[in-house]
Structure 1
Amino acid sequence: MSFIVRLKNDAFGKAARLAGLRSNYALAKKMEINRSTVARVICGDLNPGSAFIAGALHALSPMQFDDLFEIVGAHDPDVRDDERLPSVFQIRRGIRSTQRLPGWFTDRPERLLDVVRAEVSNGRGEKAVELLAEVWPLVADDVDDHVARRLHECGVYLTSVLPTSPLMARACRLGAIVLRARGLHRLAAAQGLVALAVHREHDDPDAVASALLDLAETYHADGRMHRAIVCVDEALEVYGPHQSSVGFARTLLLLGSIMIETGRYDSAVECLTQATSAHERLGNAVSSAEGRALLSRAHRLLGDDDAASRDLHHALALVGEADHAEVRRLREVSAGVRQFTPILA
Structure 2
Amino acid sequence: MKTKIGLFVVAAAFLIAYGACKNDVTSTDNQQTQGKTGNPAIDALTEQIAASPKDAQLYASRGKLFYENEGYDEAIRDLTVALQFDSANVDYHHLLSDVYLDYFQSRLALRTMERAAALYPERIPTLLKLCEVQYTLKQYKASLQTIDRILKIDPQNGDAFLMMGLNTRELNDTDRALKAFQKAIEIDPELIDAWINLGQMNAKLNKPDAERYFDSAIRIAPDNITAIHAKADFLRDKNDLNGAIALYKKLNTIDVQYDEGYLNAGLLYLDQDSIEQARKMFDLVIEVNPINIQAYCFRGIAHEKAGAFARAEKDYETALRMAPEYELASEGLARVKGKK
TM-score range, shorter chain: 0.3 to 0.5
**TM-score with structure 1 setting the length:** 0.47
Considering Cα pairs closer than 8 Å and 6+ residues apart, tell me whether 1 or 2 has the greater RCO.
1
**Largest Rg, 1 or 2:** 1
